[in-house]
Structures are given as C-alpha cells and as structure tokens.
Chain A
Amino acid sequence: MEAEVKDQLVSIEKPELIAPPDWEPVIMGILCNWCSYAGSDLTGTSRIQYPPNIRIIRVPCSSRVDPWFLIKSLQTTADGVLVSGCHPGDCHYISGNYYARRRFLVTKKLLNFVGFHENRIQFSWVSAAEGPKFAKVVIKVTDDIKKLGPLHLYKKENFEKK
C-alpha cells in the first residue's frame, strides 16, 4: 500500500515537459569537514572537473545535518541536495555518521512520501582521500537532477536570474 501511494505521489513530478532549455539545476552539497569537505578540496587541488551546479556548505559532521536543512533547501533554492560524510566506521566524531545515515533514511522516506523524487535527496560517503570519487558523485547527482527538471517552477525569479 505504501508503495502504491509513493508511486502516485512521485508521478506528480513531470517537470521535464516544462523545463526551459537553458535551465541549470542548483544542488546544495552539505559536506562534513573532516572527510567529504577535505575530499572536495582534494578534487580541486587535483583539478578534476565536475559540473558547476553544486553549492557547498561545510558542517563539522554529517550528524550536524538537521532534516530541516534538506527541507529548507528544497523549499527555497535547491533542486536537489547531496549530503556527504565520512565512510562508516571512519567518523572523526566516532559515531556521528551512523546517526546521520539513519536520520537521512527517515527524511528521505518522508520527502518521498510528500512527493519529492528520491533522487532529489542523495547521500554519499567520500573520504578525504577520494577526490576523484567526489567528482563522480557530483556528476551523478547533477545528471540525476537534470533528468528530474526544475523544482521551483513557481518561483519566477528563478528563471529570470539565469
């Protein structure tokens, strides 16, 4: 029954039909300071190129990420959110990323339920040594969200700006 409801709600999203041709998504990337942010820095120092759609916010640990941040991002500015933390077992704060993982699963389910496509909210593990992996993750997330189309159709200025 749950699946049924989900499918119905997800089917609300068919925005690719109305997306303007020069539209570029905005992706909010919330990265933990010790692994993923350091990994994204490494992507930069190794000059690995990735799509310019992501805007990065630094937090100390993925467990700092309140579901509110994801909801607020989708509600106001972003077409998708990427949260990235240390690999399981590698958390700088011992166990923070486990809490993040659980909290994230629940949030994703909730956002899914209210009609957001599951690819709009993504989670990944990127260590400080994984510069190339960070680029891959960003490329994948950007692709996914491009396929889904703009989230803020109702926001006029979103298009005027571009």
Chain B
Amino acid sequence: MARVGVFVCFCGANIAEYLDVPQVVEEVKRIREVKYAVDYKYMCSDPGQGLIRDAIVQHKLTSIVVAACSPRMHEKTFRKALSDAGMNPYLLEVANIREHSSWVHQKNKKAATDKAMDLCRMAVAKSIANEQLHEISVPVTKRALVIGGGIAGIQAALDIADARIPVVLVEKSPSIGGKMAQLDETFPTLDCSQCILTPKMVDVASHPYIELIPYAEVIELQGFVGNYKAKIKKKASYVNFKTCTGCGACWQKCPVKVANEYNLGLDKRKAIYTPFPQAVPNKPVIDAEHCTMLLKGKCGICAKVCQPGAIDYQMQDEVIEREIGAVVVATGYDMWDPTPYEEYGVGRFKDIITSLEFERMVSANGPTNGVPLRPSDGKVPKNVVFIKCIGSRDEAKGIEYCSKICCMYTTKHTILLHHKVHDSHAYVFYMDIRAAGKGYEEFVKKAQTDTAATYLRGRVSKIYKKGDKLMVRGEDAQIGQVVEVEADLVVLATAVSAPKDNPDLARLLGISYDKYGYLSEAHPKLRPVETAKAGIFLAGCTQAPKDIPETVSQASACAAKVCGLFAGDTMKKDPMVSTINIEYCSGCLNCINVCPYTAIVTDEVPIGHGSKELRTVAYINEGVCQGCGSCVAICRSMAINLAGFTDPQIINEIVSI
C-alpha cells in the first residue's frame, strides 16, 4: 500500500494566519494511506526540505504531498528535494493551499481550513496514483538548417557556423542576398547595401562549416527537435556548378530576353542568367520557362560557347536528404502589390512606381545606372511625389499593421533623389513619421533640412493625368485644405507583406502562422525567436516586418538558441508526455487529427502474437509530444494516457473530497 507523507507549510503568516494548519495536519493524518504528516514554518527553506528528505528515508514513504504555495512556484524545488533523498521526483504532488485558499478566503478561517483539507485530500489521492517518471533523453544531430539566404539567413548561418556547427543553407533563388542585395543604400547611415552585404555572402560560400544549396526548396521535414530529417529539392539549373567557371560567355551570347526579376522587370535578362553581377554562387542557371532549347529543342548556343562544357540540358530536379537538429526559418518578405489602389491609377499610369523599383533605379548597378527616370518617356523627373502607407495601416484596401520600415526608406529615398537629381523637389504625403530607432529621428530631421522636401500630412485621394504630368490630389490636414501637386514621378511606399508561400511552408514545418501569413513566435515578448515547435526558430521579416538591424539581431539570437540546443550530446525533456498502449488502440486515429505537433503517426503491428497480418495503430513520438493531452481525451478506447496527468490520477482527485 502507498505510504504518503504530507508536509504542510505555514509560509510564515501567509498560510498560518488565515487557516488552521495544525488542524489540517490532524485531518490528513486520518487518511489511511498517510503515514506521516507534519507542519513547518517554511517548507521551501533548507531545513524544511531537510524535513522532507529525512521523512522519506525514515518512514519509507512512496509519495510526497507538499501543501504550500502554487506548484508553479516551488514544484521544482520540492522535486529536487525528493531526488536528493533518492526518490523519483515525479512522486511529488503540491496542494496549493496558499493561492487557492489562505489568500483568497482571508475572512473565513473555517472555510479556508476546510478547503485546505480538501485540497490536501485531493493531492494525496492523486499522489497515490503517481508513477515514477524519468526525464527523456533525446540524441541530437548537430547540424542546422537555415531556410532563406537573405540577410537574416546569412547572419544566422554565419553565426552558427562560427561556433563550428555545420549549417545547411537553402535558398530558393539562384543566389543568396535576398532583398538587401536589391537595395542601394541603407538608412540611417547611408552606407552602401552591397558593400556591407556582399562580403558576408562570400563568407557564406567559403565557410568550411556551411553547405550552401542555392536554387532549392525544402519540401519535407520529418522528425522532432534534435532529430529532423529534411528533404530538399534542388531545382534543375541545367548548368553543372562543379565545372562552370562563371565566365559569362553563355549569358552574353544567349538570344532570349526575359524581364529581369532582380530589377523588378525594369530591364531584361537572358534565359541563362545570374540574378546580379555579385551573385553567390556566381554560376548561371537556365530559366526553363523561357529557354528555347528546353522548350522547343532549338538553339543550344550556350552549350556551344561554354568551354568547360558545363551546360547539361538533360538535368533533372534532384531531391536530397539531410539530417538536422534545428531549423532557422528566414524566408523574408514580399513587397505588397498596390493594385487595389485604383484611384491612384496603379497599372494605368506608367510613371507611378513602387519604392523598390525606385530603389533599383537609384542603385548604381540598376537598370538606369543610378539615375531615376520616368518609365513613360525616359526623362529625368523634377517633381517627385512619395506617398507613404500604401497598403500599411489601411484596413479597407491593405493591411492593418504598420510596416515599420516605410517611413525610414522614404526619408532615405528623398535624400537619394536629392543626391542624384540636384534640382529635383520631393513631396511626401504621410500619415505619421514613425522614426523610432537608434539615429532614426536625427536622420529624418537631417533629411528634411538637407533636401528641403515638402512634407504634407494627409492621404492622397486621387491621381490623374494632365499632359505628360501626373496630378496628385490629396489633403494637407495641417492647413485643412485639399492640395494638388504636379508630379513627374510618383513613388508608392508599399507595405511589407508576408511571403505568399509562408502558409505552405508553415504547414510543411508544422508551425503556425498569423492571419497575415507571418510565422508565429512562441511568445510575443519572452520567446520571440522560437516557434511553438521545439527546434524551429524564426529570423527576420518572416515573423513580422522589421528593419535590417533588428533582422540581424534576431538572426544572431536564433544562432544563440541553436548553439544552446546543441551544447550537449543529448537533450533532456520533461517526461510528462502521452504514452499509448497499442493493445487497446483500435486504430481510429482520431488522436492524429487533434495533435497540434504532429507527434502522432501511424504504425503497423501484427494483429496477434506471431501473426503475419498487420493492423494500423497510432504511435506517439515522445520527443515531439509536448504533453497537452488532447489525444488522451479524444481516445475512445482509452489507449492513451498522459504521464503526470493520467485518468486514474485525475479521477482520484475528483472522488476524494
């Protein structure tokens, strides 16, 4: 029979003042299984814990009940006391007689004492059904997968690899670099984006601990923290990267011209191409959708001019597998498509461009060699109107949130315009100027003085054409009047939006995403880089809009998390997870549907002893299970139980009072 020891705490006056502790002790002594009961001033103090340790040995106790404060407070402390006495720490139960009794029934001592007795009875009843549990030890594969090769992915990969942990960096496009590679200069210091990014890109390619897999996508992730298995699809590039020298003969001779994604379609690239001159790896790929050799079997010029013979038209997509222990998701963001702003004439007027298009134009390696030009006639614009919050903070047409970076990049654009076209004038329609960040407000103030740009607080209601100019009609709320500005060029500060394939990726990884498509962190304040799934971390704009310094910080935080995870050879995990008795499992598999962590999979077992015929049952992976207990309640045949919160334990609690 169970031998339970009950230890009731005074908690100074916190408990003793409002309920009769000795009476509680006397009452619990009447329970058959209770072999020892005692009270003490502070159970959590060292002598208090000593009391528990001594009693365990002296009275050969098989489970312990501590009636004190909330288990959320001191459960760990008392568990440690149990293990110090050589007892399994999970044989402890805590009766919460402080938060749930003495503190909330201060005016009714009798009722509080009665309730404390009941809480003790419940804890004793539960503890009788407690079982010995052991921390789960999970082996760890010390290799990290980074999805996305923008600045977030680059930083995370470099930081992890510098800790001598192998990294697999998977990038969707032919080159790493991401959106930052498309920027000209960065706020608030105006240093050249390429100058600070490209050395990092080269570091990634040459780092001995980084395996860079460009032009590839993760298509499957199985397993659990420390033991994931990722399937990565390498898209056919039709160029053998091992033999290709990146000389460029192929793309110079290629006759097919296609809109260039890197420059947002403002100029053309070839069907065999590298995205941009500083691409890493600097190897071209063939665009299968446009290459005439691949489409019609005619041409083959690139193969003819390629001296190392690197072109391979027969190349197929290849799926490779990597065993990894942790994942950093850094898939970045998309620029929001401003088409819904019909009253602005988006799509109808050529001289309305987005901010990223403007960024490409003013970029030295851009389609216009660093000079902004009107797309309609190629003239240099004099009056440029910047409209902020296109899509951001607009529930009707766009998204509710503030994209955080538009205020700053528009300020930067007014400076860049001023630098490139000295006699130009910028008009900025804005709702607010949000410049929170180190050096940001100063940057905005300086830009306003240096460029003498006209800031108009208000929304633009309409843009229409007058001759070859665009008339921008809006409100200047500060003077309370409708204003019209004659513009040569209109730049829309479009919002940052979540990558459109984020929901698919989230499903594939088994993590959650919010209503906008951003991947969800485990806790908005205290766990901002972790996801609800252990071993998967978030870096950069894939979690929420952020600027480059924040993205880099978060990426480094991810690296620290990954390094922490890989610090030992095995990981310890709470044993309070679900277990299944397959003898009872009827194979209805309802548990698989309710499991939020995909911890349950199907398994095949013989229908009887020695039988060759198989039946389907559920199998719970204790490494993945987080112990919510959804599957236990849904299980019709009562095959599943949650360690620490088993049916007998809870039913004991219910019937004990």
**Which A residues are closer than 8 A to B by beta carbons?**
24, 26, 28, 33, 37-38, 40-41, 43-45, 47-50, 52, 55-61, 63-69, 72-73, 76-78, 92-96, 99, 103, 135
A126 to chain B: closest CB distance in Å? 14
In the assembled complex, the Cα of A39 lies from the Cα of B532 at a distance in Å of 21
A sample of 30 inter-chain contacts (CB < 8 A) reads: A26-B657, A33-B72, A38-B72, A41-B70, A41-B96, A41-B99, A41-B100, A43-B99, A43-B104, A44-B103, A44-B104, A47-B104, A49-B107, A52-B101, A52-B104, A52-B111, A52-B115, A57-B122, A59-B645, A60-B627, A60-B628, A63-B594, A68-B651, A69-B654, A76-B654, A77-B655, A77-B657, A94-B532, A94-B596, A95-B594
In the assembled complex, the Cα of A135 lies from the Cα of B645 at a distance in Å of 25
In the assembled complex, the Cα of A40 lies from the Cα of B105 at a distance in Å of 13
The winner among A59, A60, A65, A95 for most chain B CB atoms within 10 A is A60
Stretch at the interface among B166-174, B476-484, B629-637: B629-637
**Majority SS at the chain A contact face:** mixed
Does B98 make an interface contact (CB < 8 A)? yes
Q: Are A48 and B628 in contact (CB under 8 A)?
A: no
Partner of A60, one of B104, B118, B629: B629
B101-123 CB mask vs A (1 if < 8 Å, else 0) is: 10111111001101100110010
Within 8 A of A (CB), among B60-80: 70-73
In the complex, besides A47-B103, A63-B629, A93-B626, 11 extra interface pairs with C-beta distance below 8 angstroms are A44-B98, A44-B99, A52-B112, A55-B118, A55-B657, A63-B628, A64-B645, A76-B654, A77-B654, A96-B596, A99-B594
Within 8 A of A (CB), among B556-571: none
Does B642 make an interface contact (CB < 8 A)? yes
B582-596 CB mask vs A (1 if < 8 Å, else 0) is: 000000000000101
In the assembled complex, the Cα of A34 lies from the Cα of B337 at a distance in Å of 40
Does B650 make an interface contact (CB < 8 A)? yes
In the assembled complex, the Cα of A63 lies from the Cα of B629 at a distance in Å of 6
In the assembled complex, the Cα of A128 lies from the Cα of B328 at a distance in Å of 30
Chain A residue contacts of B122, Cβ below 8 A = 55, 57
In the assembled complex, the Cα of A40 lies from the Cα of B71 at a distance in Å of 12
Q: Are B111 and A72 in contact (CB under 8 A)?
A: no
Does B357 make an interface contact (CB < 8 A)? no
A78 to chain B: closest CB distance in Å? 8
Q: List the 5 shortest-distance A-B pairs measured between CB atoms, nearest first.
A: A44-B99, A64-B629, A93-B628, A52-B111, A94-B596
Known contacts A56-B96, A57-B122, A76-B655; decide if A49 and B105 are in contact (CB<8 Å): yes
